[in-house]
Chain A
Amino acid sequence: MVRTTPPALPVRDRQATRALSPMLTRLAEERATGVLVREHGVLYLAEGRVVHAESPHAPGLDVLLTAHGTLAGAAWQQAAAQTPGPLHAAELLLRSGILPTGALELCHLDALYDAGYFALAPSSTPGRFRYDPAPRPGPLPSVPVVALERETLRRRLLLHRLWPDPAADSTPLIRADPAAGRAPAAPVTPRQRAVLDRVDGLRTAADIARNLGRQAYHTLVDVRRLTAAGHVSPTAPAPPAPVPLPPHQVTTDPDIALLKRLRDALEAL
């Protein structure tokens, strides 16, 4: 059977110093403390380091910890009720000794890099930063901004190498027939099988991650691999709304010089 070798995990390019968010770079340089709200997620900074991240696309620490019974749902709710946010709830759990330190640190870092990946996704609106003394360096590990940015870029590259079309990341998924077309499918691993079993034409990758209590990025890796192997495909996106016809042109003699200045100004942005 012919099987293509899966692409290697990319190694971070040390030369690539391109910042994903110039604002974030500036905040890290000034060792800012506060909350950066971006279109697809929120980063909590303490003295310029990322201490916590949240995204609607990624299951939170609570989901990861309770989905498989690591922590009873009631124990999380109790901690959450006594604290202003999930990071503080996690710190309370750490102090109380309910969970082993290593497990909590590991799950916290998993959730941070996972939500951070989505928080740093390209956005159509500028981020907003609110100086806020609440985030503070605590007992759980924090991550330098530059490390989160580099890891996010590396993760994007990995997904791109697995299957270059990002459509499967965000739209509902449907089962596909692997025999149709593509190269012989790689065998489905047990982890991928669990993902595939939840593909129903309605759930997105993020829904499946939440349902399985798994990191969303890890689920995207499985979804892109399954897409590449022909087991899954994104549902067709809704047809774009018809573009309204431009208003009737009344100008017969456009001001060419003005248009050129406008174009130059736009290109210079």
Chain B
Amino acid sequence: MPGIDECLLEAMRLPGARGAALVDWTSGLALGTVGDAPGGDHETTAAEAAELARMAAEHGTFAAHGDELPPVEDVIISNGDSYHLLRFVDTSFDSSVFLHLWLGREDGNLALARIRLGEMAARLVLG
């Protein structure tokens, strides 16, 4: 069964992966990081990504309608040279974490990465 580090290393094997982190969106703490971060600083990246994730998770506009569903699955940002994919991790205990994958736009495949990151998020907490 994968731990946090194995999960992040697996994410880094996706084509175009530049960096990955497991981040708590309430506090902005990076609980694990691998690879590079934009600007070279995982802590700043985690705090800023957490802010974005929190906005998405807390505003009803973006929430799925159904009590059994987690409010939000992914947040996707694209820019001129990269993609940022935030995948919420749905834990059976109370937590507020997401996986953050930073992908180069040249080599990255957003659709594939989205599916794989979702599988990794599930394996991380379900085994």
Q: Do A and B bind each other?
A: yes
Interface bits B1-18 vs A (CB < 8 Å: 1, else 0): 111100100000000000
CB-based contact A101/B93 at 8 Å: no
Answer yes or no: A55 CB below 8 A from chain B CBs.
no
CB-based contact A68/B125 at 8 Å: no
CB-based contact B3/A102 at 8 Å: yes
CB-based contact A97/B96 at 8 Å: no
Answer yes or no: B78 CB below 8 A from chain A CBs.
no
Question: Which residue of the partner chain B has the closest CB to A100?
Answer: B127
CB-based contact B3/A105 at 8 Å: yes
Task: Give chain A residues whose Cβ lies under 8 Å from the Cβ of B51.
Answer: 8-9
Answer yes or no: B92 CB below 8 A from chain A CBs.
yes
Answer yes or no: B74 CB below 8 A from chain A CBs.
no
Interface bits A217-237 vs B (CB < 8 Å: 1, else 0): 110010000000000000000
Task: Give chain B residues whose Cβ lies under 8 Å from the Cβ of A109.
Answer: 4, 31
Answer yes or no: A155 CB below 8 A from chain B CBs.
yes
Distance in angstroms from A5 CB to nearest chain B CB is 10
Interface size class of B (residues with CB under 8 A): 20 to 34
Complex formed: what's the CA distance from A10 to B44 in Å? 9
Complex formed: what's the CA distance from A109 to B127 in Å? 18
CB-based contact B97/A103 at 8 Å: no
Question: Which of B21-29, B80-88, B102-110 is found at the contact surface with chain A?
Answer: B21-29
CB-based contact A102/B93 at 8 Å: no
Task: Give chain A residues whose Cβ lies under 8 Å from the Cβ of B58.
Answer: 189, 191
Distance in angstroms from A258 CB to nearest chain B CB is 51
Interface size class of A (residues with CB under 8 A): 35 or more
Answer yes or no: B68 CB below 8 A from chain A CBs.
no
Answer yes or no: A47 CB below 8 A from chain B CBs.
no
Question: Which residue of the partner chain A has the closest CB to B94?
Answer: A214
Partner of A103, one of B26, B27, B91: B91
Distance in angstroms from B10 CB to nearest chain A CB is 11
CB-based contact A106/B94 at 8 Å: no
Question: Which residue of the partner chain B has the closest CB to A140?
Answer: B3
Question: Which residue of the partner chain A has the closest CB to B63?
Answer: A190
The 7 A-B pairs with the shortest beta carbon distances in the complex, nearest first, are A100-B127, A102-B124, A9-B28, A9-B47, A70-B92, A101-B1, A103-B125
| A-B contact sample (15 more), CB < 8 A, given A9-B28, A67-B94, A106-B89 | A9-B47, A11-B48, A68-B92, A68-B93, A100-B1, A102-B4, A102-B127, A103-B92, A103-B93, A106-B124, A106-B125, A110-B24, A141-B4, A151-B27, A221-B27
Question: Footprint of A on B, CB under 8 Å?
Answer: 1-4, 7, 22, 24, 26-29, 31, 43-44, 47-48, 50-51, 58, 60, 71, 89, 91-97, 123-127
Question: Footprint of B on A, CB under 8 Å?
Answer: 8-12, 64-65, 67-70, 97, 99-103, 105-107, 109-110, 113, 141, 151, 154-155, 158, 187, 189-191, 212-215, 217-218, 221
